[in-house]
């Protein structure tokens, strides 16, 4: 059974806690005594501590001390209405929950019962089993990254200087391009590359993708042809008056037909069949990697440094800093990473993020052509099997494949 302790000087609260059915509440007026009660009992016993709010700075000292001494304690702040600032301060120092200072015996008992029923989830010792696992880079890999990246920066410094001059001479804009990328454990960081595009490249991404085609996307049918096939595929039945009026208001054809058994999803500005929605969502996940062939946004210098992977060299600074590793899964842009949160893809983020990796060298072996699903599976495979020898093989294959016809 969970123990209950009260820390405070409010006699009315003490009286109410005495009448909690089936509970022996221990009372104390000193936070060190409260901590002693929690640590002096059975090792695996947990405690609920009702903490009467007082002077904020004194409360912070007390709560911090109790949390440090007692791992198995759940602190409930007995308080009047808190300001936003006070709430943030109390939560930061360790408060788990709050309840009104004038709470009745029934309300206090319900709170205790609620916590008791969820003991295995709410207390630190037990909840550790349910925490999301995080990847931690091995010491050997981190030491290798530091040495390799530092030497690389020193040896390649002439290449850095010449590339910077060439970029500046061809087009206006910064020499380095920074973008937010998602790496290990979904950590977001500033990813460095030599700028290989014109300065307004990102704003043109959707237009260029539509005109030039996404290398990893499946070929789509003409929009009108798709509509005709959809109409032929369904068992038709008239819409209800209310749905018909709604669709007319949205500019949709009133004589459109749907199946009797089809579930329709209604949004602010659309009505779509659930089956079509799920199909589109699946295609979005499969085509999460955006790659455009013959991209007109790329500068002449950009094409050269991309061909020989020179644009990737500034990532040595990311590696030296610890944002990523020499070998690992490619850090993804935010718009790509958000599409890979399904269970089938999440494991790629539980591995090192890297400058080069398994799918890059495998893709070169396939002439630069690889599906998004193949890439995801190689990322997952690397995360499950990486070791020192595998990293060395990937580095060797990367160094021997700088000169290539395909941009990967």
Determine how many CB atoms are found less than 10 A away from the CB of residue 34: 27
- In this predicted model, what pLDDT tens digit does every residue of 230-283 receive, in sequence order? 544 443 444 444 444 444 444 444 344 444 455 555 444 445 555 665 665 555
Q: What's the gap between Cα 350 and its chain centre? A: 11
- How is 336-371 classified by DSSP, letter by letter? HHTT--STTTGGGGSS-BEEE-HHHHHHHHTTT---
348, 329 in Cβ contact below 8 A? yes
Q: What pLDDT sits at residue 279?
A: 62
Rounded to the nearest 10°, the torsion over CA 73, 78, 84, 86 is: -70
- In this predicted model, what pLDDT tens digit does every residue of 39-86 receive, in sequence order? 755 445 788 899 999 888 999 999 988 888 887 788 999 988 888 888
What is the sign, positive or negative, of the torsion defined by CA atoms of 326, 332, 338, 341? negative
Q: What pLDDT sits at residue 268?
A: 43
Rounded alpha-carbon distances, angstroms, from residue 297 to 198, 207, 229, 291, 354? 6, 11, 36, 12, 25
Q: What pLDDT sits at residue 342?
A: 57
Q: What pLDDT sits at residue 240?
A: 46
Sheet order of strands, 97-100 included:
25-28, 3-7, 47-52, 73-79, 97-100
200, two tokens: 């307004």
Q: What pLDDT sits at residue 271?
A: 52
Cα angle: 8, vertex 13, 15; to 5 degrees: 120
> Strand pairing partners for 73?
47
Q: What pLDDT sits at residue 165?
A: 95
117, two tokens: 């029923």
Q: What's the pTM value of the predicted model, to 2 decimals?
A: 0.49
Rounded alpha-carbon distances, angstroms, from residue 264 to 233, 238, 246? 16, 14, 13
Q: What pLDDT sits at residue 209?
A: 57
Query: Number of helices and strands (H, E) in the chain?
Result: 19, 12
Helix (H) or strand (E) holding 316: helix 315-321
Which of 138, 26, 13, 18 lies closest to 73, judged by CA? 26
Within 8 A by CB and 6+ apart from 345, the residues are: 285, 376, 380
Per-residue pLDDT of the chain (408 residues; tens, 9 = 90+): 688 899 998 999 998 998 888 888 889 988 888 888 877 554 457 888 999 998 889 999 999 888 888 877 889 999 888 888 888 888 888 888 889 888 898 889 888 888 887 776 666 544 444 444 567 888 999 999 999 999 999 999 999 999 999 999 988 889 998 888 988 888 889 999 999 888 766 565 556 555 555 554 444 444 445 544 554 444 344 444 444 444 444 444 434 444 445 555 544 444 555 566 566 555 554 555 555 556 667 888 989 998 888 998 999 999 999 999 999 988 888 877 777 665 556 667 778 889 888 888 876 655 556 777 788 888 888 887 888 999 999 988 887 765 454 444
**DSSP designation for 204:** G
Q: What pLDDT sits at residue 77?
A: 92
**How far is 398 from 195, CA to CA, in rounded Å?**
21
> What does DSSP say about strands 264-266 and 271-273: parallel, antiparallel, or unpaired?
antiparallel
SS3 73: strand
Helix 358-365 × helix 372-385 angle, to 10°: 130
Q: What pLDDT sits at residue 163?
A: 95
């Amino acid at each position: 059974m969970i123990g209950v302790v009260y820390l405070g000087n409010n006699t009315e609260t003490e009286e109410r806690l005495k009448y909690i059915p089936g509970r022996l509440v221990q009372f104390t007026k000193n936070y060190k005594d409260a901590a002693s009660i929690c640590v002096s009992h059975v090792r695996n016993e947990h405690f609920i501590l009702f903490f009467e709010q007082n002077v904020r700075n004194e409360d912070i000292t007390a709560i911090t001390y109790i949390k440090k001494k007692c791992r198995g304690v759940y602190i409930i702040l007995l308080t009047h209405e808190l300001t936003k600032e006070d709430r943030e301060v109390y939560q930061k120092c360790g408060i788990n929950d709050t309840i009104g200072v004038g709470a009745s015996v029934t309300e206090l008992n319900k709170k205790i019962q609620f916590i008791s029923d969820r003991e295995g989830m709410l207390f630190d010792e037990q909840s550790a089993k349910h925490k999301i696992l995080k990847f931690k880079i091995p010491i050997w890999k981190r030491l290798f990254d530091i040495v390799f990246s530092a030497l690389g920066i020193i040896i390649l410094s002439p290449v850095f200087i010449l590339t910077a001059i060439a970029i500046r001479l061809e087009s206006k804009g910064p020499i380095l391009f920074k973008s937010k990328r998602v790496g290990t454990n979904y950590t977001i960081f500033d990813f460095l590359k030599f700028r290989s595009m014109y300065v307004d490249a990102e704003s043109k991404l959707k237009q260029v993708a539509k005109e030039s085609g996404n290398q990893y996307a499946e070929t789509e049918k003409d929009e009108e042809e798709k509509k005709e096939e959809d109409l032929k595929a369904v068992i038709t039945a008239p819409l209800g008056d209310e749905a018909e009026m709604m669709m007319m208001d949205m500019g949709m054809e009133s004589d459109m037909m749907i199946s009797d058994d089809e579930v329709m999803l209604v949004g602010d500005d659309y009505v779509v069949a659930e089956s079509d929605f799920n199909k589109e969502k699946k295609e979005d996940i499969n085509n999460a990697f955006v790659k455009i062939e013959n991209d007109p946004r790329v500068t002449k210098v950009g094409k050269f440094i991309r061909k020989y992977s020179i644009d990737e060299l500034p990532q040595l600074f990311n590696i030296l800093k610890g944002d990523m590793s020499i070998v690992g899964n490619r850090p993804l842009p935010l718009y790509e990473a958000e599409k890979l949160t399904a269970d089938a893809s999440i494991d790629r983020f539980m591995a090192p993020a890297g400058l080069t990796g398994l799918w890059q060298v495998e893709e070169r072996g396939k002439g630069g052509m690889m599906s998004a699903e193949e890439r995801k599976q190689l990322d997952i495979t690397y995360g499950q099997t990486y070791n020192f020898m595998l990293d060395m093989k990937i580095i060797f294959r990367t160094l021997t494949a700088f000169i290539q016809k395909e941009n990967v």
